[in-house]
């Protein structure tokens, strides 16, 4: 691999080879745009490949979130509705196995207070077109017979489930390449400068790349890219962990299960392994330069999982890893072009594994036609400019 | 939430020769609280393994000299006042906090002032066609079956491997009644000059052992073929026959030399790999030693790793055998006692010096021995496209090659893309074969291929054991 000083040029350069970037590359290339994707290592190496595979198509909420959380994220619910449609057809769209299982999504509560939060969540979801339902004890148990004794009720949404994080972004990348998208890996972006012609010059560890337009699809590292062009994009990342058990008899019916009060996502993969998540914190090991699971999180996560689904308590924990979570202050995605830096687009969403494909598609629609299935106004990167002034 | 955390001056992980010797020396030096954690149901490790429950040893001599050597050390450590916990699996270490599960049910944590990692070695996995057939076992497993459980692994046994251990295993198996059809040694027959060098450098006992094993095999008329490798194993549902071939110095097959032997059991003994997962987990600086077991922690003369307060001793930090491990354990135990303030620096140094002299002689011997039995690259070229390389996830060499052909050179990325190394064994049965395949394709030495990263749990652990206690405030630890 000799290092050319000029990597080349493209109409659009996407920075970031996670699911968001790969999906954007796919939909743009499919629309006939000359697109190149640049990643600092290989594709799918961070959050997109290291999450638990949950498809969060109900509102993600917990008791310690701010009181007005649902109001803050409300515009996102329409996007979730579209995302649910997209996940149902994604394997056909890409002609690839993405490990998608949409057995439905169960949220559970153990107390009236937790149940009240689920009711609030469901009301907002239904108003936005996500047709979840409240289900109380007996009915819930007929839907999810694997639940433990502490659960009093919850909600159910048919379109929820999970996918395989190891497959989804690579499937988008392969499909994008079929439409001519080019991929440059091991090219960390160190600077983005505006050229007099109006385009951008992107410095990487290897060489310089030129593009008329840039899409920042860097997940938890979005803020860094924003700073390179003088924009404030307040995305904050944090280390979270996932654990996996050995294979056990299938009991979970391809459901995604979440506990509103205790912090749990749980699913059972087709090979029988339980996948335990729920945003439990990991830590960044500076010496080894990677996110690493924490003992307390591993034990706490195991406790919640075995309490909620007793069959998990019979399994053995086989592996765990640290991934990346991230969010914005208003909990909404950042999608669209900056009015301050014309030609600079942002494609970011919290819960980016769930939202990656739809965000990539919506941004590409907007890019190609000036319009999109879902209005982009609530997600504009400009909203942080106003806050800054 | 992890209950009350016990405190100990020194925790030794692994109760084989290195761990036991370390405990004995540390206690002798006056370290107040010394704790050994071991997975086995009793102390001893692989070589000094005890008989299982239900066995009584009526004649120590008949049990073999390894048994007696082990018993001496076990008696010493039992009398030393060390806190010994068997059936105990360490699943993670955070700083100096060691998390473990005992008897598969109770999770606890000990905070240590110093740690000695003495986790030993395991048989090198060799992915050849047919290696997953029932009836194929590793030399270590065969030895445990025969010597400890007194069960013969089969009726007609082929022993294929390399090195003095392969020979020793064969002789031991034969002596215990196993029918060994042939011993195939991949290395050439040692020349008299090399043997003379070994005699010069080796300790007499080891050489007498080796001569005795060879004589035993000759007396029992077991064919011993040098420069011979196992090419593949065949059979329907189980082993029916094996194909052997002559090899050159790189262990590459001499065309036309293949022949078939009818056997129902194949024992593979192509050397050992260091179980260095814990050293890797806590971020010890590593180096690659092809002859001493792969990725092993770098250590100073007193066996300190690059992580302050953490020592590594025995085969888990470089293969040297039981006696070598025991000597290293002594050095680490004394050095840890010195660092913990139980022993003055002068006294520690003079105690270490005695062991060092012995270790240096053993190291010279090992270097010569390893040169004789250096694993040839041909061993890793026997697999075909259909050969399973990752048993846990059932992935083949073709699956691996497809990814390497795409330009991937990092086993961690191979794992993410193919699930090779992701299963229950966490790479123990495939990592070295994956690294060899990458090295071959990239035309680079194996040390340029990154080691597979290690995370807790380093061994499977029951969810129920970890889920014993309600976390203090689960919901507050959740982030959006």
Give me the residue spans of the domains in chain B: 6-122+273-343, 125-270, 383-448
Who contacts B464 (Cβ-Cβ below 8 Å, separation ≥6)?
A306, A313, A314, B105
User: What's the half-sphere exposure (Cβ side, CA atoms, 13 Å) at A284?
Assistant: 8
Q: Rounded distance, CA B275 to CA B388, Å?
A: 22
- Spatial separation of the C-alpha atoms in residues A122 and A387, rounded to whole Å: 30
Q: What is the pLDDT of residue B144?
A: 83
CATH number for region B6-122+273-343: 3.50.50.60
Backbone dihedral region for residue A75 (phi beyond 0: left; psi -120 to 50: alpha; all else: beta):
alpha
Euclidean distance between CA atoms A178 and A176, whole angstroms: 5
Q: Which among B99, B283, B467 has the least Cβ separation from residue A295? A: B99
Per CATH, which fold does A6-48+166-235+330-388 belong to? FAD/NAD(P)-binding domain (3.50.50)
Residue B443 in contact with partner chain A when CB distance is under 8 A: no
As for the ipTM of the complex, it is 0.91
Torsion angle of the four alpha carbons B33, B34, B40, B41, in this order, in degrees rounded to the nearest 10: -40
Give the number of C-alpha atoms closer than 13 A to the C-alpha of residue A239, restricted to the C-beta side.
15
Quick check: helix, strand or coil at residue A220? helix
Helix (H, G, I), strand (E, B) or coil at B60: coil
Residue A269: HSE in the Cβ half-sphere, 13 Å Cα cutoff? 19
Nearest to A306 by CA among A146, A106, A109: A146
d(CA B62, CA B51): 13
Q: Do A6-48+166-235+330-388 and A102-160+236-327 have matching folds?
A: no
Nearest to B479 by CA among A302, A276, A303, A324: A324
For the four alpha carbons of B419, A250, A294 and A105, in that order, the dihedral sign comes to: positive
The alpha carbons of chain B give a radius of gyration, in whole angstroms, of: 23
Count CB neighbours of B404 within 10 A. 17
Structure tokens at A201: 């010059």
Token code pair at residue A115? 């149940």
Nearest-Cα distance to chain B for A321, in Å, is 7
Task: Tell whether B287 lies on the interface with A, counting CB pairs under 8 A.
Answer: no
Same fold, B6-122+273-343 and B125-270: yes
List the Cα angle A154/A157/A160 in 5-degree steps: 120
Of B109, B422, B463, the CB nearest to A317: B463
pLDDT in tens, B333-351: 999 999 999 999 999 999 9
Interface contacts A/B by beta carbons within 8 Å:
134
Run of H or E residues at A3:
none
Judge whether B55 is closer than 8 Å to chain A, CB to CB. no
Q: What is the distance in angstroms between the Cα of A51 and the nearest Cα belonging to chain B?
A: 12
Give the CATH number of domain A102-160+236-327.
3.30.9.10
Which chain A residues touch B92 with a CB distance below 8 Å?
A: 293, 295, 298
**Residues of chain B contacting residue A299, judged by C-beta atoms under 8 Å apart:** 1-2, 107, 466-469, 471
Contacts of A177 (CB under 8 A, 6+ apart): A183
Strand order in the sheet with B461-462: A133-136, A153-157, A105-109, A256-259, A264-268, A273-277, A236-247, A316-327, B461-462
Q: Which of A33, A28, A37, A42 is nearest to A7 (CA)?
A: A37
**Contacting residues for A29 by C-beta, under 8 A, at least 6 apart:** A35, A176, A179, A180, A181
A chain contacts of residue B478, beta-carbon cutoff 8 Å: 62, 64, 263, 278-280
Whole-number Å distance between alpha carbons of B21 and B33: 15
Interface membership of B471 toward A (CB under 8 Å): yes
Tens of pLDDT, residue by residue, chain B (480 residues)? 445 799 999 999 999 999 999 999 999 999 999 999 999 999 988 888 877 777 777 777 777 777 888 899 999 999 999 999 999 999 999 999 999 999 988 899 999 999 999 999 999 999 999 999 999 999 988 888 887 788 888 999 999 999 877 777 788 888 888 899 999 999 998 776 676 666 666 666 666 777 777 787 778 788 899 999 999 999 999 999 999 999 999 999 999 999 999 999 999 999 999 999 999 999 999 999 988 899 999 999 999 999 999 999 999 999 999 999 999 999 999 999 999 999 999 999 999 999 999 999 898 888 888 887 888 999 999 999 999 999 999 999 999 999 999 888 999 999 988 999 999 999 999 999 999 999 998 999 888 999 999 999 999 999 999 998 777 654 444 443
Separation of first and last alpha carbons in chain B: 22
B302, with CB counted inside 10 A (0-12, 13-18, 19+), is middle
How far is the alpha carbon of A314 from chain B, nearest alpha carbon, in Å?
6
The pLDDT score that the predictor gives to residue B50 is: 78
Pick from B154, B152, B206: which is nearest to B175 by CA? B152
Is the omega angle on the peptide bond into residue B457 within 30 degrees of 0, that is, cis?
Answer: yes
Q: Does B461 touch chain A (CB under 8 A)?
A: yes
**Could you list the pLDDT tens digit for every one of the 389 residues in chain A?**
444 467 789 999 999 999 999 999 999 999 999 999 999 999 999 999 999 999 999 999 999 999 999 999 999 999 999 999 999 999 999 999 999 999 999 999 999 999 999 999 999 999 999 999 999 989 999 999 999 999 999 999 999 999 999 999 999 999 999 999 999 999 999 999 999 888 999 999 768 999 999 999 999 999 999 999 999 999 999 999 999 999 999 999 999 999 999 999 999 999 999 999 999 999 988 877 889 999 999 999 999 999 999 999 999 999 999 999 999 999 999 999 999 999 999 999 999 999 999 999 999 999 999 999 999 999 999 999 865 44
Classify A270 as helix, strand or coil: coil
- How is A303-314 classified by DSSP, letter by letter? HHHHHHSGGGGG
| CA pair distance A100, B398, nearest whole angstrom | 25
Q: Which residue of B419, B424, B477 is in closest CB contact with A297?
A: B477
Residue B102, chain A, CB below 8 Å: the answer is no
Question: Phi/psi zone of residue B261: left (φ > 0), alpha (ψ -120 to 50 degrees), beta?
Answer: beta
CB-based contacts of A26: which residues, under 8 Å, 6+ apart?
A94, A172, A173, A175, A176, A179, A181, A360
* Domains in chain A: boundaries: 6-48+166-235+330-388, 102-160+236-327
Nearest to B251 by CA among B378, B125, B437, B129: B378
Whether the CB of B89 is below 8 Å from some CB of chain A: the reply is no
Q: What is the structure's pLDDT at B470?
A: 76
So what's the pLDDT on residue B479?
43
pTM of the model: 0.92
CA A349 to chain centre: 6
Nearest by CB to B456, from A166, A290, A293: name it: A293
Of the options 2.60.40.10, 3.40.50.2300, 3.50.50.60, 3.40.30.10, the CATH number for the domain spanning B125-270: 3.50.50.60
* Chain B contact probe: residue of A40, A286, A316 with most B CBs at under 10 A: A316
Backbone region of residue B363 per phi and psi (left: phi > 0; alpha: psi in -120 to 50; beta: other values):
alpha
CA distances from B410 to B175, B403, B435, B450, B453 (A): 45, 10, 9, 6, 10
Looking at domain B383-448, its CATH class is mainly alpha
């Amino acid at each position: 691999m000799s290092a050319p000083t000029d990597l080349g040029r493209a109409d659009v350069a996407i920075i970031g080879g996670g699911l968001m970037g790969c999906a954007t590359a796919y939909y743009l290339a499919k629309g006939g745009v000359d697109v190149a994707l640049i990643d600092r290592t290989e594709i799918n190496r961070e959050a997109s490949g290291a999450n638990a595979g949950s498809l969060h198509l109900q509102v993600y909420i917990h008791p310690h979130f701010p009181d007005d959380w649902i109001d803050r994220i409300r515009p996102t619910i329409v996007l979730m509705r579209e995302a649910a449609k997209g996940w149902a057809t994604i394997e056909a769209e890409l002609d690839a196995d993405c490990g998608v299982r949409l057995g439905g999504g169960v949220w559970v509560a153990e107390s009236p207070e937790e149940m009240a939060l689920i009711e609030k969540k469901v009301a907002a979801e239904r108003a936005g077109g996500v047709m979840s339902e409240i289900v109380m004890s007996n009915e819930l148990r007929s839907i999810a017979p694997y639940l433990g004794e502490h659960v009093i009720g919850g909600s159910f949404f048919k379109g929820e489930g999970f996918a395989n994080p190891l497959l989804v972004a690579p499937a988008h990348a392969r499909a994008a390449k079929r439409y001519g998208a080019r991929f440059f890996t091991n090219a960390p972006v160190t600077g983005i400068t505006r050229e007099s012609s109006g385009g951008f010059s992107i410095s990487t560890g290897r060489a310089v790349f030129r593009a008329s337009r840039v899409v920042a699809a860097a997940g938890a590292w979005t803020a860094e890219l924003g700073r390179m062009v003088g924009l404030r994009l307040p995305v904050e990342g944090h280390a979270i962990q996932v654990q996996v058990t050995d294979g056990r008899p299938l009991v979970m019916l391809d459901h995604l299960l979440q506990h509103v009060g205790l912090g749990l996502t749980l699913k059972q993969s087709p090979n029988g392994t339980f996948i335990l998540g729920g945003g439990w914190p990991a830590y960044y090991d500076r010496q080894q330069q990677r996110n690493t699971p924490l003992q307390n999180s591993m034990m706490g996560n195991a406790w919640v999982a075995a309490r909620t689904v007793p069959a998990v308590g019979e399994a053995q924990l086989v592996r765990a890893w640290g991934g990346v979570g991230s969010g914005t202050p208003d909990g909404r995605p950042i999608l669209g072009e900056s009015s301050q830096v014309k030609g600079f687009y942002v494609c970011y969403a919290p819960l980016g594994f769930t939202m990656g494909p739809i965000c990539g598609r919506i941004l590409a629609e907007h890019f190609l036609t000036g319009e999109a299935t879902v209005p982009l106004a609530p997600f504009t990167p400009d909203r942080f400019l106003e806050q800054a002034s | 939430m992890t209950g009350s955390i016990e405190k100990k001056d020194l925790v030794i992980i692994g109760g084989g020769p290195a761990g036991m010797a370390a405990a004995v020396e540390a206690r002798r030096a006056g370290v107040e609280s010394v704790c050994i954690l071991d997975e086995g149901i009793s102390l001893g490790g692989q070589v000094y393994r005890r008989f299982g429950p239900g066995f009584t040893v009526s004649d120590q001599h008949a049990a073999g000299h390894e048994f007696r050597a082990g018993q001496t050390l076990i008696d010493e450590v039992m009398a030393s006042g060390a806190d010994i916990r068997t059936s105990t699996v360490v699943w993670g270490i955070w700083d100096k906090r060691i998390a473990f599960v005992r008897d598969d049910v109770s999770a606890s944590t000990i905070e240590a002032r110093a740690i000695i990692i003495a986790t030993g070695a395991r048989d090198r996995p060799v992915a050849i066609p047919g290696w997953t057939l029932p009836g194929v076992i590793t030399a270590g497993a065969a030895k445990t079956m025969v010597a400890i459980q007194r069960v013969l692994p089969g009726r007609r046994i082929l022993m294929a491997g390399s090195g003095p251990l392969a020979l020793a295993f064969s002789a031991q198996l034969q002596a215990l009644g196993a029918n060994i059809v042939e011993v195939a040694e991949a290395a050439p027959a040692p020349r008299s000059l090399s043997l003379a060098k070994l005699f010069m450098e080796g300790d007499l006992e080891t050489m007498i052992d080796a001569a005795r094993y060879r004589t035993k095999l000759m007396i029992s008329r077991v064919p011993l073929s040098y420069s011979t490798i196992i090419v593949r194993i065949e059979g329907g549902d189980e082993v029916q026959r094996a194909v052997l071939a002559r090899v050159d110095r790189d262990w590459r097959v001499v065309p036309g030399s293949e022949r078939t032997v009818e056997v129902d059991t194949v024992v593979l003994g192509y050397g050992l790999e260091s179980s260095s997962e814990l050293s890797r987990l806590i971020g010890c600086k590593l180096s690659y030693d092809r002859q001493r077991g792969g990725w092993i922690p770098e250590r100073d003369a007193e066996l300190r790793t690059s992580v302050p307060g953490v020592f590594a001793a025995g085969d888990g930090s470089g293969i040297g055998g039981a006696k070598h491990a025991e000597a290293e354990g002594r050095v680490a135990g004394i050095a840890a006692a010195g660092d913990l303030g139980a022993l003055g620096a002068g006294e520690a140094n003079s105690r270490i010096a005695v062991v060092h002299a012995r270790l240096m002689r053993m190291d010279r011997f090992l270097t010569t021995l390893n040169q004789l039995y250096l694993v040839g690259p041909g061993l890793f070229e026997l697999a075909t496209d259909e050969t399973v390389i990752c048993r846990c996830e059932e992935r083949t060499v073709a699956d691996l090659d497809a990814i390497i052909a795409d330009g991937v050179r990092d086993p961690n990325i191979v794992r993410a893309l193919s699930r090779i190394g992701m299963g229950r064994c966490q790479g123990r049965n495939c990592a070295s074969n994956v690294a060899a395949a990458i090295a071959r394709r990239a035309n680079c030495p194996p040390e340029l291929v990154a080691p597979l990263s290690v995370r807790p749990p380093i061994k499977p652990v029951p969810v129920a054991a970890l889920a014993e206690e309600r976390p203090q405030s689960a919901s507050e630890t959740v982030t959006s």
